[in-house]
Amino acid sequence: MLKSFLKFFEESHKQAEPAYTIELATAALLSELVNADNQVTDTEKEEYEKQLKRLVNVNDEAMALLLKQGHETADDAVDLVHFTQVLNKHYSAEQKTSVIRSLWAIAYADESLAPLEESTIRQIADLLYVPHSQYIKTKLEVIESTK
């Protein structure tokens, strides 16, 4: 009896989890950072689009839809784990570092770093198993490139 109950619970739990594509998971993580400090600027939106284009390879029509869906998906999300799980399954260490670099670029697009933005990037880096040294290195590279 207990085994059948556990099996039912596991199956219903699996069905409840949304399946995200790599592209949508990436878009949602980047969008999460854009909205982290509740002060969305045009430069952050532009950088979000630029960085998403750099990370995913889709045509212009699909990109427009992805930008919109990434924002909506991030707004509906309870946590970041579902998105980072997708990237952990499919991205190499270098690709995950590239995502962190994009997050830093978005954070510094408005020439200021809000504490919530830095905290969000740290959380995503931890969930992607990006070493702290790489987290700091990419931050410094982005700062240097914006000067």
Hey, where are the domains in the chain?
21-146
pLDDT tens, position by position, 84-99: 999 999 999 999 999 9
Tally of residues, the chain: 147
Question: With contact defined as beta carbons under 8 Å apart, do 121 and 135 qualify?
Answer: yes
> If you average pLDDT over each of 48-52, 109-113, 122-126, which comes out highest?
122-126
Hey, what are 83's tokens? 């998105």
Helix axes 93-107, 42-55, angle to 10 degrees: 170
Nearest to residue 142, comparing CAs of 108, 95, 94, 114? Answer: 108
Q: Please tell me the class of the 21-146 domain.
A: mainly alpha
